[in-house]
Amino acid sequence: MSAFALRLFRSTIFLAKVVGAAVALVAVFLLLIVLTGGAGCGLAAWCVTVGTAVAVALRRGRGRTRAARAVLFLPVVLAAALTASVCVPTVPTTRRYLPALPSVEVRHWSLSTGSRVAVYHYPPTGSAPRSAVPLLYLNGGPVRGISLLDHRFLRLLASQGRDVYAYEPAGAGRSELLPMDQYSISRSVRDLGAVLDHLGAAKDQGAAKDRSAAKDRGTATADILGFSSGAVVLTRALATPMVAAHIHRAIIAEPGPMDGPTARLDGQRGRPSARGLAPAPTGPRSTRIPRYAVAFGLMRLGLLAPDTGLIGQAEGDNAFTAADLGSDTASAYCARDAHRIPAEDTARNFSFSPAASLRVQRTVKDSPSLAPRLKRSRVPAMLMIAECSSQVRRWATAVLAADPGIRRTQYLPGVGHHLWNGLDDNNRRAAAVITAFLRNKPAPLPDYPKREDIPAFLRAHK
C-alpha cells in the first residue's frame, strides 16, 4: 500500500470515528428529548448531552497530548452544533395572526365554551328564492383555517339564495388558541353547539322584527355542511341531542373516522388519487429545519405529546406551511388531475395547527363507539362520497349504516376527497347536489349507495 493510500485510509477511519461518535451523541440527545418531553425548548436534553460528552472527553484525555485531547472534542463540538439547531426557534414564538380577507367580513364570537372563533358570513345573492334557514360550513383539518378555495365555494352557495356562515375552529386561522389540553373532539362538538346558539340568537332577533318569517323558520337553527373532519364533528353532533335539536338538515361530506372502532378500520379507498403522481409541492417547508423536523416528526410518531416543551403551539402554527402537507394535498384529487392541482390557498391565508390536530385525532381514536347514540338521530341527512376519495370507504359506510336520518347518498364521479376543487364544473356539480337536498328537491345523482348496497359497494372497490 502506498504512503498516500495509507494516509487516505487512516484519514477515512478517523473521520468515520468522529462522525460515528457525533451521530451517537445526536441519538442520545433525541432520546433525552423524548424522555424529558422537550423541556425548556430542548435545552434540558442539550445540556445533559453536551455536559456528559464533555466530561467523558476530559476523562479520556487525561495524560494525553494537547492535540490528542483536541481530537476527542471534535465529535462533541460537531454534535453540540447539530443539536443546538433543534433548540433555537426560527419563527416567532407568539401567535402570528392572519391578515383580514378583502372578500368577506370576519367577526369574532366569544362562545359559552370559552373559545373565541372567527366567523365569516356570505349574505344571499343571485335570483334564487331566499331560504329562511342559514347554512353553516364546518371545514376539514381538524384544526385548519378555511382555504381560499373553500371561500370561493361558499360564495357560490350564497349565490343560491342562502345565508352562508363558516367559522374556523379554535386554534385555526383567525380564531384564538386554546390551551393544548383543551383540544378534543368533544370540545369541537360543544363549540359547534355554542355557534348554533349564537346563530339562534340572531335568528330570534330577526324573527322579532318579522313574525311571519318566524312561522316559516321552525325551531331548528341552521343547515350544516361538514367536510372531512368537519363531517366527523357534524356526525357526532347528530348523536348529541342538545346540539342535534338545532340542526335542520345535515350534509356529511367525505367523513373521517367518527369514533375509535371506526378509526381502527382499514381497507379500500376510492379510485386512484394523485398521491405519488403529482409534482412535489413548492415553497418553504418547516420540516427542512432541524427544530421543526424533529418536533413534528416525533409528535407524528407518538414519541412527543402535542403539548411538548420543545415547541409551543403558536410557534408550531407559525412554522408549518402548505408545502409541509406534502402528498396529503395531492391525495385529495383524482389521478387524472395530478398535473393540474389548483392552488388551494396562499401563504397569507394558510393556517394549520399540527399539534392541536394530532390531539383532536387522538381523542377520536380513544372514543367509544358512536353507533348506539347515532342510531337515535332523526335529523334529515345526506352523505356525499367522492369517486377518487383517499378516505377509507368503511369510514363513510359506517356512518351510513348507523344513522337512520340519512335520506340520500350522492356518489360524485370525477372528483377526489376535495369535492369542490375549482376544476371544470366540479364546484357547480357539488353545489347542485347540496342545494337539491336542502330544498328537498330530487337528487341530481342516483341515491347510491343505500344501506342495503353497502356490501356490494365495498366489494365493487368503488
> Each residue of 269-312: pLDDT tens digit?
999 999 999 998 888 999 899 999 999 999 999 999 999 999 99
> Looking at the domain assignment, is residue 100 inside a domain?
no
Give yes or no for residue 53 having a pLDDT over 90: no
Query: Domain end: 87, 114, 141, which one?
Result: 87
How far does Cα 275 stand from its chain's mean position? 17
- Domain identity same for 42 and 134: no
Query: Domain end: 17, 52, 87, which one?
Result: 87
> Looking at the domain assignment, is residue 410 inside a domain?
yes
Give yes or no for residue 218 having a pLDDT over 50: no
- Domain identity same for 82 and 223: no
Give yes or no for residue 45 having a pLDDT over 60: yes
- Domain identity same for 399 and 361: yes
Q: Can you read off the three cell numbers belonging to residue 93?
A: 414564538
Closest CA to 402 of 225, 258, 256, 226: 258
Q: How many helices (H) does the chain have, and how many strands (E)?
A: 17, 8
> Looking at the domain assignment, is residue 340 inside a domain?
yes
Collapsing DSSP to helix, strand or coil, 75 comes out as: helix
- Domain identity same for 79 and 128: no
- Domain identity same for 377 and 411: yes
- Domain identity same for 365 and 241: yes
- Domain identity same for 154 and 183: yes
> Looking at the domain assignment, is residue 96 inside a domain?
no
> Looking at the domain assignment, is residue 438 inside a domain?
yes
- Domain identity same for 347 and 445: yes
CB-hemisphere CA count at 13 Å for 423?
Answer: 18
Question: What span, in angstroms and rounded, lies between the C-alpha atoms of 459 and 185?
Answer: 31
Closest CA to 387 of 438, 426, 441: 426
- Domain identity same for 136 and 268: yes
> Looking at the domain assignment, is residue 17 inside a domain?
yes
CATH number of the CATH domain containing 115: 3.40.50.1820
Q: Can you read off the three cell numbers belonging to residue 452?
A: 342495503
> Looking at the domain assignment, is residue 320 inside a domain?
no
> Looking at the domain assignment, is residue 95 inside a domain?
no
pLDDT tens-place string over residues 165-196: 999 999 999 999 999 999 999 999 999 999 99
- Domain identity same for 125 and 70: no
Cβ–Cβ < 8 Å for 188, 215: no
pLDDT tens-place string over residues 130-166: 888 999 999 999 999 999 999 999 999 999 999 999 9
Closest CA to 119 of 179, 195, 188, 189: 195
- Domain identity same for 242 and 378: yes
The DSSP secondary structure of 297-356, one letter per residue, reads HHHHTTSS-TT-SSS-HHHHHHH--GGGGTHHHHTTSBGGGGGG------TTT--B-HHH
How far does Cα 291 stand from its chain's mean position? 21
Number of structural domains the chain divides into: 2
In this predicted structure, what is the pLDDT of residue 180? Answer: 96
- Domain identity same for 170 and 68: no
Which residues have C-beta within 8 Å of that of residue 396, sequence separation ≥ 6? 254, 255, 383, 385, 389
State the pairing for strand pair 164-167/116-122: antiparallel
In this predicted structure, what is the pLDDT of residue 15? Answer: 72
Query: Which range marks the domain in which residue 52 is found?
Result: 3-87
Give yes or no for residue 361 having a pLDDT over 80: yes
Query: Domain end: 87, 120, 138, which one?
Result: 87
**Rounded mean pLDDT of the chain?**
91
- 273 vs 209, 341, 390, 419, CA distance in Å? 50, 11, 7, 13
- The phi and psi torsions of 210 (rounded to 5 degrees) equal -140, 90
